[in-house]
Amino acid sequence: MSETTRTLSPLDHWLARAGDGLKAFGAASGAAHRPRPQAASGALSPDERRAAAALMRVNHAGEVAAQGLYHGQALVARDQALRRQLLAAAKEERDHLHWCAERLQELGDGPSKLDPLWYAGSAAIGVLAGLRNDAVSLGFVAETERQVSAHLGEHLERLPAQDAASRAVVQAMKVDEERHGQSALDAGGVLPPAPVRRLMQAVAGVMKFGAARV
């Protein structure tokens, strides 16, 4: 029986989110719920391949962090409808994980070795945001997705012109992120104050720097 059809204990929720976390690190295996966007790429030089792989590794790490954020928020969400919304978004983000992992394999590379750190840190942030109240939690989602969408737009400009396969994945991810952010605002999210938004950008910058290199 699913967690949406019966009342679950706090332990049930903790175990469910722990299972979600394990799925986040097993995304390279199994199958995505949605087919990966496809496009035929031209030949890439070794330098272009390395550059594309670094960007896709950052994108993969960002999706690991998104899983942690959503799982942390869902764990402490007071409203059942909000918990379902968060977990539905996390499910779509897991598709992004699959897509990025597959593209990294095609580029002859793999995910960041620091992925467990990104997940744990984001899950802790999600719990802290969720404990404030649901409006703050949703606002945090909206701002996170706004920043993610912006960096995906930057990646579309930086990816090699002939790497259509990576571009198709990033463009589809960007559409999903924008929709998740708008859904959070529509559900009553209140954006965090400017100092918090700047701190979020700084933390994201550390993650992008580390994931691109390790």
CATH code of the domain covering residue 202: 1.20.1260.10
In terms of residue numbers, what domain contains 167? 11-24+43-213
pTM here?
A: 0.83
Handedness of CA 144, 30, 55, 153 (dihedral sign): negative
pLDDT at 145 over 90: yes
Helix orientation angle between 134-158 and 46-76, rounded to the nearest 10 degrees = 170
Structure tokens, 28: 């390279």
Nearest residue to 107 via CA among 64, 33, 162, 67: 162
More confident site: 169 or 89: 169
- Is residue 137, in this structure, part of any structural domain at all? yes
Handedness of CA 63, 65, 68, 70 (dihedral sign): negative
- Backbone φ/ψ region at 188: left (φ over 0), alpha (ψ -120 to 50), beta: left
Residues 6+ apart with CB under 8 A from 1: none
pLDDT bin (cut points 50, 70, 90) of residue 28 is very low
Give the integer Cα–Cα distance in Å for 167 and 163.
Answer: 6
More confident site: 141 or 6: 141
Q: pLDDT digits over 80-139, tens only?
A: 888 998 998 888 889 999 999 999 999 999 999 999 999 999 999 899 888 988 898 899
How high is the pLDDT of residue 174?
Answer: 96
Q: pLDDT digits over 45-66, tens only?
A: 999 999 999 999 999 999 999 9
- Is residue 32, in this structure, part of any structural domain at all? no
- Is residue 207, in this structure, part of any structural domain at all? yes
Alpha carbon distances (Å) from 94 to 9, 79, 210: 25, 23, 21
pLDDT bin (cut points 50, 70, 90) of residue 20 is low
- Is residue 4, in this structure, part of any structural domain at all? no
- Is residue 6, in this structure, part of any structural domain at all? no
Distance, CA of 187 to chain centre:
20
pLDDT at 21 over 70: no
The count of structural domains within the chain is 1
Name the average pLDDT for the chain: 86
